[in-house]
Amino acid sequence: MSDEGPLGGRLLGIAVAALVMLAGVLAVGATLRGGPDVPAHPEPGTLETGQPITEEAAVFSTRAADLAVDPTVQGRPGASGRSLAGFRALRAYPGAPPRIPHALADDEFLQATCNQCHRRGGWAPRFGAYAPVSPHPEFSNCLQCHVPANTGELFRPTGWVAAAWPVTGRRAMEGSPPVVPHALEMRGNCVSCHAGPAAVAEIRTTHPERANCRQCHVPALGGPEPGAAFSRPLERPGGAAPPDGPDGRGGGA
């Protein structure tokens, strides 16, 4: 393994995808067998814990061997690649399902054969590009969320203003791994946008061979406002004697 080396040459090598959250399409059907109330001596096969947690499982769901092209490969020269601007242009707001940027044959539209290309990725001669890998190939009713653009016109002018894209590359120090600025639902599989020949150029990882992404990159959403760290109350909860010095020392200074 080579040094990740965000300090090796470029100042800040890795940027992180700017996606927030897809509208609630995550339908989890809990259809698993139940276990006994007291599991000291469980029946065999009853210790299942449920469907995989999407955000936890997805990062491991696509292994290099499952992909048409190894994620460490950058792809053939001249291939039309994805850019961050184009990536954003396909989405109405951060986290929106992207529009389908290419024409669909009728049978593709009817049968939604998207996963033939988008499950494993790979070179698509028809487009002179590598197919982006779906971050959620377990879903196959693709057109439920992704639709093509069949006209460039608007019916009426729109006053829509999108939410701001999150700041990419936010990191605590020089060389720290950047935090994940987007939600992980539906997009926990980092390879989709950050590795392989179809990666978005600006947010391509420098180390696509590593599989346990969240070892270093942790979500920055869902917690308190950025910048805040834990601060301890001056007085211990329910305690009689506050730790209190002459200048009020004792925490939180």
Partner 1 sequence: MPICSYVVVPADGARGAVAASLASLPGCDVVPAENADLLLLVTETDDLDAEAALRTRIEAMPEVRGLVLTFGDVDPDTPEADPLSRTFRKAVSSLPDTP
Partner 2 sequence: MSPVERRIFLKRMAMAAAAASASSLVPDVAFGEELGGYVGDPEALEWRKTPCRFCGVGCGLLVGLENGRAVAVKGDPESSVNRGLCCVKGYHSVQALYGGDRITRAQVRRDGRLVEVSIEEALDVVAERIRSTIAEHGKDSVAMYGSGQWTIPDGYVASKLFKGALGTNNVEANARLCMASAVTGFMSTFGLDEPMGCYEDIDHADVFVLWGNNMAEMHPVLFSRMLERRRTGQGVQIIDLATRTTRTSYAADRSLLFAPQSDLAIANAICHELVANHWVDESFVERHVAFKRGKTDIGYGLEDGFSFTDEATDVGWDEYVAFLADYTPERVEAISGVPAEDIRWLASLYGDPARKVTSFWCMGMNQHTRGTWINNLVYNVHLLVGKIAEPGNSPFSLTGQPSACGTVREVGTLTHALPHGVVTNEDDRRMAAEIWGVPLENIDPRPTYHTVEMFRALDRGDIRFMWVQVTNPMVTMPHLNRYRAGAEKEGRFLVVSDVYPTPTTDVADVILPASMWFEQEGLFGNSERRTQHFAQLVDPPGDCMSDTWQLIEVARRLGYEELFPWSYEEHIDGIWAEYTRFHDNPKHRMAPLDELKERPGIMWPYVDGQETKWRYNTRHDPAADAEYGDFDFYGKPDHRAWIWLRPYEPPPEVPDAEYPMWLNTGRVVEHWHTGSMTRRVPVLHQAVPNAYVEVNRLDAAEMGIRNRERVRLVTRRGSLELEARIDYRGQPTRGQVFVPFFDEGLLVNELTLDSFCPISKQPDYKKCAVRLERIGGRTAS
Query: Interaction with partner 2 in 20-79: which residues (CB under 8 A)?
Result: 28, 30, 32, 34-53, 56-57, 59-61, 63-64
Paired tokens of 154? 């608007």
Examine residue 128 and tell whether it contacts partner 2 (CB under 8 A): no
CA separation for the pair 54, 138 (Å, rounded): 10
Q: Are 196 and 121 in contact (CB under 8 A)?
A: yes
Which of partner 2, partner 1, none does residue 1 bind (CB under 5 to 8 Å by kind)?
partner 2
Which of partner 1, partner 2, none does residue 89 bind (CB under 5 to 8 Å by kind)?
partner 1
Q: Are 170 and 181 in contact (CB under 8 A)?
A: yes
Count of residues making up the chain: 253
- As measured in angstroms, the least distance from the Cβ of 189 to partner 1 is 24
Residue with smaller CB distance to partner 2, 20 or 117: 20
Paired tokens of 162? 């999108």
- As measured in angstroms, the least distance from the Cβ of 171 to partner 1 is 10
Examine residue 86 and tell whether it contacts partner 1 (CB under 8 A): yes
Task: With CB under 8 A as the rule, give the number of residues binding partner 1.
Answer: 17
Q: Are 69 and 130 in contact (CB under 8 A)?
A: yes
CA separation for the pair 80, 197 (Å, rounded): 10
Cβ neighbours of 2 (radius 10 Å) = 8
**Could you say which of 28, 164, 209, 233 contacts partner 1 (CB under 8 A)?**
164
Which of partner 2, partner 1, none does residue 164 bind (CB under 5 to 8 Å by kind)?
partner 1
Amino acid identity, position 59: V
DSSP 8-class letter at 33 = P
Tell me which stretch binds partner 1 (CB under 8 A): 58-66, 160-168, 188-196, 209-217. Answer: 160-168
Of the candidates 116, 115, 133, 141, the one whose C-alpha atom is nearest the C-alpha of residue 188 is: 133
Tell me which stretch binds partner 2 (CB under 8 A): 74-82, 107-115, 130-138, 161-169. Answer: 161-169
**Could you say which of 225, 230, 237, 238 contacts partner 1 (CB under 8 A)?**
225
